[in-house]
Every structure is written in C-alpha cells, then in structure tokens.
Structure 1
Amino acid sequence: MNFQDWFKLFQEQILNTSLIEWLAVGFGVTEVLLAKKNSIWLYPTGIISILLVMTLLYSANLYAEIVLNIYYLVMSVYGWLIWKNQENHHHKEVRWSTRKEIVIAVSISVIGFGIFYTALINLPEHFVVAKIDIFFTKSDVPIADAFVSAFAWAGMWLLAKRKVENWIFLNISNIVAIPLLFHKKLPLMACLTTFLFIVAVFGFFEWKKIINENKLKLA
C-alpha cells in the first residue's frame, strides 16, 4: 500500500469509528496523560476505557480478547487500591525499581509471552465452553502479538507499584505495536499508539524529574 492508500484507509476508519470507540480512545489517552502527571485519577479513567473496550469486544463475540482485558481491569483496580493507600498515608513517592522488581517484571514478560504465543498458535478460531460460543481472533504474527501483550502486562504491574521503569516496559510494547498495527491495516490505532509512545517518553522523564526533586528536598 502506498501513502495515498494508507491515508484513505485512515479516513475511512475515522468515519466508521463509533461513539463508544471514540470514548474508549478518549479515556485511554486521558489515562496515560494522568499517569504522566503521577495522578491517581489515571485508574478510574483507565477502568472506564477498559469497560468500554470490553463492551465492543462482547458485541463482536470476541470473548477470548475479553479475558486479556479482564487482566488489565484487575491490574487497574489493584493499582488504584495501592495508590489510594499510599495517598491516605501522604506517600506519593515515585521510585526506581529494585533488582527484585526488575526480575519480576522480566519474568512477567517472559511467562506472559509464552502464554500468549501458545494461545495464539494453538487455540482454534471458534470453540464452545459451557454452551457458549467462543470466538478467538487468529494472528498471522503471533510472536509480535505475544510480545506486545507480555510487555504491556509487565508495564502495568510496574505502574501499579509506581516504578519509573513502567514507562520503559510500556514503550517496548508500543514500539513493536506501532508497525504491527500498520501491518494489520489499522492506521488509526497505529497513530494513537504513536501518540501514547511519545507521552510515555515524556512520562519517563517527568517521573525521573520527580525523583530528583524529592532527593533535593531531602538533601
């Protein structure tokens, strides 16, 4: 596809995007911007975005993808509770990860990759569980798909722990997701992910700045 074809596809996707999809995107973007500012409000906005996405997936009968979003929902609630507890004790400090936390994050990425890759290459497109028809979107690039999801898993865990490295793991996921989305002929989502990548870069330096400012206050 040439640039003109991509642009035409981009226009078509914008015109065909439903209100619920726009709301999901809007809340998703707001979530990342609030995370950059180290604001606890990232979690309620993120939860709304996830619930909207799950509604769209349910309408499309994509139940297996809903399972993935349930993880994001659980991690969002988990992160919200942790951040709320920290703020109740007037403790909103951003920190670098310990060696143990880095090992855990890498382990989440590796194990998550194995789970996703195995599912992507082995699960049929359609199967029945408890008389419910389950539809699963097959991937022609299972390695890339599994990689993106696995690093997003680890990034969300680090975000819940208020660790600076969450931005690194999330952007490792984003940098692979951008060409992957173009490959899947989803230029609108690719552009959105590019925006999120840029915000995450600024988020990393913003959180690093917060740590340095806290050090100066203690000096």
Structure 2
Amino acid sequence: MNIQEWIRLLWQQIGETPLLQWIAVSLGVAEVLLARANKIWLYPAGIGATTLSVFILFEAGLYAECLLNGYYIVMSIYGWWYWVKKKDKPAVKVSFSNSQDWLTVLLIAGIGFAGLYLCLRYFTPSTVPVADAFVSATAWAGMWLLARRKVENWILLNISNAVAVPLLFHKQLPLYAGLTIFLFVIAVQGYFKWRKTARQNEKEDNFLMPSIE
C-alpha cells in the first residue's frame, strides 16, 4: 500500500469511524499530553482509553494489543497509586533508570515477547504474531517505567510506536496509526522534558544531601 492509498483509507475511515473509536482516541491523546506534562490525571484518561481499545482491537484481530491494553489498565492503577503522595512521604520524583530497572525491563520485554508470540502463533488466528508480540512486549516494559516515573519510559514506548504504525496501517486501522504517529512525536518531547526534570531533581537532591566530613 502506497502513501496515497494510506491517505485515502485514512479519510475513508474518518468518515466511517464509530463514536466509540473517537472517544478512545481522544482519551489516548489526553493521556499522552498529560504524561508529557507529568500530571497524574494521565491515569484516569489512560484507563478509559485502554478499556475501550480492548474491544476495538479485538475486533481487528490484534490479540496481543488487546492483552497490552489490559496490562495498561493494571499498570495505570498501579502507577496512579505509586505517584500519589503517601502520608509522611514525598511524592515520587522523575528520575533516571538504574541497573535494576533495566534488568526488569529486559525481563518484561523478553518474557513478554516470547510468551505472546507463542500464544499468538499457536492459539489464535493472528496473521502478524511477531510484530504484534514485539509491539506489546516493548510497550509493557515502557509502561512499567512510566509507572515508576522513569525518564526512559519514553524510549521504550517509542520503540513500540515505531513498529506499531506500519502494523496498524496493515490492519487497516489508519486512525489508530495516525494517533500512534502523534504519540511518537509527543513521546520525543516528553523524553527531553522529563530528562530536564530528572536532572533538576538530581541537583536538588545533591544540594540537600548533608556533607560528610
């Protein structure tokens, strides 16, 4: 499919898109904008978007992405709880990932990809098991980093987005592909914004840390 056919399909789908998809896409846009701004309200918006997307993506035959959205709901609830300021404790700050975080990312992505691929390959009629599993596994890892308020969540999410765009076009979901392209751009901005915030947090922590003589 060439670019002209993609554009034609996009406009065709815009005219035929049911209200449910518009609501899901609108909530998805709100979620990523709130995430870039480092606002906790990203979580209720994300829960709404992902709940609706489960039904939409299942009908399109993207079974791993249905599971991905189910995982998003769980991680959104966890992230919402984790970000909230606890009694007698400061709110969690934006920070960089450490070696333990990266080990967890590798485990989530690796085990997630292998498990999803096998399930898709042998237990579903999926025609794109490798791409579908990769998109979901890398996004799982990125969502975990987002819940932990780690800068590098944007890197993992954009790796997932980069593969998801052609996959969604292939599945004739150009509206979702367009949303994913938008999310990709916002994630790039989010990375640099969060990196600046994390560096500022490090400076403040070092300034407040008592010197040892």
Shorter-chain TM-score tier? 0.7 to 0.9
Distance 2:88 2:42 in 1: 17
Normalised TM-score (structure 1): 0.85
Normalised TM-score (structure 2): 0.87
Amino acid at match of 1:200: A
C-alpha spacing 1:172/1:87, structure 2 compared with 1 (3 Å): farther
C-alpha spacing 1:33/1:63, structure 2 compared with 1 (3 Å): closer
Corresponding residue to 2:178 among 191, 195, 199? 191
- Which residue matches 1:134? none
Structure 1: stretches of 5+ with no match in the other structure: 126-137
C-alpha spacing 1:186/1:20, structure 2 compared with 1 (3 Å): closer
Distance 1:62 1:148 in 2: 14
Structure 2: stretches of 5+ with no match in the other structure: 208-213
Deviation of the 1:92 alpha carbon = 3.7
C-alpha spacing 1:160/1:121, structure 2 compared with 1 (3 Å): same
Q: Deviations over 1:54-108 (max 9, x none)?
A: 35467x4979565443221111101111111459733241011110110111110
Whether 2:137 is the aligned partner of 1:109: answer: no
Greater mean alpha carbon deviation, residues 207-216 or residues 83-92: 83-92
- Which residue matches 1:168? 155
- Percent identity of the aligned residues? 50
Could you tell me whether the CA contact under 8 Å between 1:86 and 1:92 is conserved in 2? no
Structural RMSD (CA):
2.3
Deviation of the 1:214 alpha carbon = 2.5
C-alpha spacing 1:88/1:210, structure 2 compared with 1 (3 Å): farther
Amino acid at match of 1:79: G
